[in-house]
Amino acid sequence: MSSDEDHAAGRGGGFEHRLRAEIEQIARDLRAEHASIQGTLEVITKSARDVVPGAEDAGITLITRGRAFQSRAATSELPKAIDDLHHRLGDGPCVQAIWQHETVLVTDMTTEVRWPLFAPEAAGLGVRSMLAFQLYTTETTMGALNLHSSHPNAFGDDAVSVGGTLATHAVSALIASQREEHLPRCAGVSGHHRSGQGMLMQRYSIDAEQAFTILACRSQHTNTRSTRSR
């Protein structure tokens, strides 16, 4: 069988079935960590490392108001070192993904010309390929999911597709977990409401933040009405 046929077979039913099962497990893990931002981030990076073809390490970079870099939920020390390099130089694939809201692929750091300062240092740290997805945007926080490999040409079309799907799920989970972690207790949002959030998202084709806001407002209205009726 030729290499092209091998590749086609790899993209066949077996691969798709395994990927679907893995995505379903990721969804369950994200629900389990729904109210914890750090827990959610860790599920995302570990899942990316395990699911995205070619990925050896993963990390999340957040840039908060004032452009302060945060390296979160790294699967090893390497993503942290690459984040430090991004921060020091103010440039690189992660920075481009964050500010330009795009997916950035580096096939080989040793021949990369877009970032003449970043690429040689990243290669010296052991990163040959990198894939960065714009991940998380609010008024105060932006971020990216970054995947690394010690091999050149590690990330192909499957990696971009699977990583993009994971990043899309991650955005909703992050927004929801942040809202839950910071929502005042008086809003009364419980596990029952989290289930309702998913139903609203599916039924009305809205995102996690919109569904969460609807439920929070509904809870506050119900609590107020109950207080008045006493």
State the pLDDT at residue 206.
Answer: 58
pLDDT of 4-54, one tens digit each? 444 444 445 566 676 667 767 776 776 665 557 888 888 889 999 999 999
Place of tokens 């799920």: 169
- Hey, how many other C-beta atoms are within 10 angstroms of the C-beta on 227? 8
Confidence of residue 200 (pLDDT cuts 50, 70, 90): low
State the pLDDT at residue 207.
Answer: 58
**Contact status, residue 46 vs residue 58, Cβ threshold 8 Å:** yes
**From CA 219, how far away is CA 197, in angstroms rounded?**
12
Among positive and negative, which fits the CA dihedral 177, 179, 183, 188?
Answer: negative
**From CA 146, how far away is CA 104, in angstroms rounded?**
9
pLDDT of 150-187, one tens digit each? 999 999 999 999 999 888 878 877 777 666 665 544 34
Q: Which of 57, 182, 221, 72 minimizes the C-alpha distance to 131?
A: 57
Mean pLDDT of the chain: 77
By residue count, the chain amounts to 230
H/E element, 15: helix 13-32
State the pLDDT at residue 4.
Answer: 42
Q: In what order do the strands lie in the sheet with 57-64?
A: 68-72, 57-64, 141-149, 129-137, 104-106
- What number is the average pLDDT over the span 84-103? 93
For residue 105, pLDDT beyond 70: yes
State the pLDDT at residue 208.
Answer: 60
- What number is the average pLDDT over the span 92-111? 95
SS3 191: helix
Token representation of residue 64: 């908060």
- Hey, how many other C-beta atoms are within 10 angstroms of the C-beta on 100? 10
State the pLDDT at residue 168.
Answer: 84
pTM of the model: 0.70
Residues with Cβ within 8 Å of residue 153, at least 6 apart in sequence: 107, 108, 129
Angular region, 205: left φ>0, alpha ψ -120 to 50, beta rest:
left
For residue 106, the cross-strand partners are 130
| Across 46-60, 83-97, 135-149, 172-186, least confident range | 172-186
State the pLDDT at residue 39.
Answer: 83
State the pLDDT at residue 209.
Answer: 56
One DSSP character per residue, 36-73 reads -HHHHHHHHHHHHHHHSTT-SEEEEEEEETTTEEEEES
Q: 156 vs 8, 153, 180, CA distance in Å?
A: 13, 7, 36
| Across 9-13, 60-64, 81-85, least confident range | 9-13
Confidence of residue 2 (pLDDT cuts 50, 70, 90): very low
